[in-house]
């Protein structure tokens, strides 16, 4: 069980939305993490490597800053099943780049732009996410 946190989640969502708007204002780019991360790898089609790396370093700095300020650990439960996490990582990496976006690019940014492609993508990954968790937890036992 995890605690239902509507207020913190909404506020966190507002910050994510704000970051997406600021990235459009600064760089004119969609805040799609899979695209930003995927293009850290070659082949390079533009000169945006430094900007993408700076963004990712900002992401990585976030929980460390929170821990430094609050002095408290970040609540996190990550499976340490190696096979599960490696297969999950491969699927997430391949699927998000193959479909041109993930939860941020299609989910947040695409829905905000009323993009039909992003609506379709979001429906599909939500559906397979729900189905996967259902199969893992309720059919094959958790």
Partner 1 sequence: MALLANFLIGLIFGLGLVVSGMSNPAKVLNFLDLAGSWDPSLAFVMGGAVLVAFFGYRIVLKRKAPIFDTVFHVPTRTDIDTRLIVGPALFGMGWGLGGFCPGPALTAIGLAAPGTLMFVPAMFAGMWMARLLATQRAP
Footprint on residues 7-46 left by partner 1 (CB under 8 A): 7-31, 33-34, 37-38, 40-41, 43
Site for partner 1 (CB under 8 A): which residue of 71, 72, 77, 141? 77
Query: Residue by residue, what is the 3-state secondary structure of the chain?
Result: CCCCCHHHHHHHHHHHHHHHHHHHHHHCCCCCHHHHHHCCCCCCCCCCHHHHHHHHHHHHHHHHHHHHHHCCCCCCCCCCCHHHHHHHHHHHHHHHHHCCCCHHHHHHHHHHCCCHHHHHHHHHHHHHHHHHHHHHHHHCCC
70 binds partner 1 (CB under 8 A): no
Instruction: Give me the least distance between CB of 69 and partner 1, in Å please.
Output: 10
CA-atom Rg of the chain in angstroms = 17
Q: Which residues ranging from 105 to 134 are in contact with partner 1 (CB under 8 A)?
A: 106-113, 115-117, 120-122, 124-134
**Distance in angstroms (rounded) separating the CA atoms of residues 93 and 122:** 16
Least distance in Å: CB of 71 to partner 1? 15
Least separation in angstroms between residue 142's CB and partner 1 is: 8
Q: Is 141 in the site for partner 1 (CB under 8 A)?
A: no
Among 71, 78, 140, 141, binds partner 1 (CB under 8 A): 78
The single residue among 72, 92, 140, 141 that binds partner 1, judged by CB under 8 A, is 92
Could you tell me the smallest distance in angstroms from the CB atom of residue 72 to partner 1?
11
């Amino acid at each position: 069980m995890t605690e239902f946190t509507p207020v913190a989640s909404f506020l966190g969502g507002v910050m994510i939305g704000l970051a997406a708007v600021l990235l459009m204002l600064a760089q004119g780019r969609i805040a799609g993490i899979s695209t930003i991360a995927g293009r850290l790898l070659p082949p390079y089609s533009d000169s945006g490597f430094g900007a993408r790396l700076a963004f990712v370093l900002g992401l990585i700095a976030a929980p460390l800053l929170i821990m430094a300020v609050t002095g408290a650990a970040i609540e996190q439960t990550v499976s340490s099943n190696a096979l599960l996490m490696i297969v999950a990582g491969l699927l997430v990496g391949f699927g998000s780049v193959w479909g041109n976006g993930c939860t941020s690019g299609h989910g947040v940014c695409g829905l905000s732009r009323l993009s039909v492609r992003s609506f379709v993508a979001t429906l599909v990954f939500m559906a397979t996410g729900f189905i996967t968790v259902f199969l893992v937890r309720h059919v094959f036992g958790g």
